[in-house]
C-alpha cells in the first residue's frame, strides 16, 4: 500500500535560516511519482515539483532544492535562506502509475506547517 | 486560461441538507479527484474518476456522492448522511504523459461550513 509520512508537523525558523522538510514514502511499485505542493493561507495548492522514480537526480530551483534517495525512500525539500513569504503548509505526495497510461491517485502526507519569522 | 474552477468558494449548509460542490476543468484531463482537508489531517481522497461515466470510492466516501457525465465536470454532493461535513474541499485533475509522467492540478477549493 502507498503511504507518505511527513514526520514534522510544524517547523519555525527565523528568516534567512535554511530549513529541510522531510518526506518518507512507501510503495510497492517500481514506477511512481513524487510531488511537493505548497499551500499558502489562501488555501490553493501550488505545484512545486514532480519527480519520477527512475530519475534520481537532485534538483535545484532558486532557493529550493530537492533530494530524492530511493535507497531510503525519501524525498526531502530544502529551502535555503528562508523568507517570510515561504510560510505555508507544505505537502509531499505520491502517485503510483502504470506506464501504460492508467493513472494512480495522489496520496498525501499530513503536511508540514512552516513558519518563517522576520 | 486553462485550469480547474471550483465553486462556490464558501458554502454554508444547514444540518440535514444536501449540497453540491462544483468542479470544472478545461485542461482535457481524463482523471478527476475530490479531496477533503481537515486541520492537521492532510488531504484525504473522497472519490476519483479516471474516465467519463465511471468513478471509484476513495478512503472516505461515506456520506458523499459524485457523477461524471462530462469529461469537464465532476460535481461532489455532500449528503445529510455525512455527519461532519465542515471542511475544506479540493478538486483536482490529472494527466499522464508518456515519458513525462503524471501531472496533477488543483482548484482553489471550497470551504464548507455547517450552520
Res A87: pLDDT: 97
Closest B-chain CA to A40: B108
**B55 interfacial to chain A (CB closer than 8 Å):** no
Q: Band of the pLDDT at A31, cuts 50, 70, 90?
A: confident
Is the pLDDT higher at B2 or at A64?
A64
> What percent of chain A lies above the pLDDT cut of 70?
93
Which residues in chain B are closer than 8 Å to A35, comparing Cβ atoms? 104
Res A99: pLDDT: 44
Closest A-chain CA to B108: A44
- List Cα–Cα distances, A25 to A57, A72, A110, B43, B73, in angstroms: 17, 9, 12, 15, 31
Q: Band of the pLDDT at B2, cuts 50, 70, 90?
A: low
**A30 interfacial to chain B (CB closer than 8 Å):** no
Res A63: pLDDT: 94
Residue A52 pLDDT > 90 = no
Q: Specify the residue for cell string 471542511.
A: B87
Q: Average the pLDDT over B86-115 and give the result.
A: 88
- Assign A15 to helix, strand or coil: coil
Q: Band of the pLDDT at A72, cuts 50, 70, 90?
A: very high
Res A42: pLDDT: 87
Which residues in chain B are closer than 8 Å to A99, comparing Cβ atoms? 98
pLDDT in tens, B44-81: 999 999 899 999 999 899 999 999 999 999 999 999 88
Res A84: pLDDT: 96
User: Are A104 and B102 in contact (CB < 8 Å)?
Assistant: yes
Q: Which three cell numbers stand for residue B114?
A: 455547517
pLDDT in tens, A90-112: 999 998 765 444 456 788 999 99
Q: Which three cell numbers stand for residue A40?
A: 499558502
Q: What is the dihedral of CA A99, A105, A107, A108, to 10 degrees?
A: 110
**A55 interfacial to chain B (CB closer than 8 Å):** no
Amino acid at each position: 500500500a502507498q503511504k507518505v509520512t511527513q514526520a514534522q508537523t510544524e517547523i519555525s525558523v527565523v528568516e534567512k535560516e535554511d530549513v529541510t522538510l522531510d518526506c518518507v514514502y512507501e510503495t510497492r511499485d517500481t514506477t511512481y511519482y513524487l510531488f511537493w505542493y505548497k499551500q499558502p493561507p489562501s488555501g490553493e495548492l501550488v505545484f512545486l515539483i514532480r519527480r519520477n522514480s527512475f530519475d534520481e537526480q537532485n534538483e535545484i530551483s532558486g532557493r529550493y532544492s530537492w533530494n530524492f534517495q530511493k535507497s531510503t525512500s525519501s524525498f526531502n525539500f530544502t529551502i535555503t535562506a528562508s523568507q517570510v513569504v515561504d510560510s505555508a503548509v507544505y505537502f509531499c505526495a505520491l502517485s503510483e502509475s502504470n506506464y501504460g497510461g492508467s493513472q494512480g491517485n495522489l496520496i498525501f502526507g499530513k503536511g508540514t506547517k512552516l513558519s518563517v519569522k522576520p | 486560461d486553462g485550469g480547474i474552477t471550483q465553486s462556490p468558494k464558501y458554502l454554508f449548509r444547514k444540518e440535514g441538507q444536501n449540497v453540491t460542490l462544483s468542479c470544472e476543468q478545461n485542461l482535457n484531463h481524463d482523471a478527476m479527484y475530490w479531496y477533503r482537508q481537515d486541520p492537521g489531517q492532510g488531504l484525504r481522497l473522497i472519490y476519483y474518476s479516471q474516465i467519463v461515466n465511471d468513478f471509484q470510492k476513495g478512503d472516505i466516501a461515506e456520506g458523499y456522492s459524485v457523477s461524471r457525465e462530462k469529461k469537464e465536470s465532476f460535481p461532489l454532493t455532500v449528503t445529510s448522511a455525512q455527519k461532519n461535513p465542515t471542511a475544506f474541499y479540493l478538486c483536482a485533475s490529472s494527466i499522464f504523459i508518456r515519458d513525462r509522467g503524471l501531472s496533477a492540478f488543483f482548484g482553489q477549493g471550497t470551504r464548507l461550513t455547517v450552520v
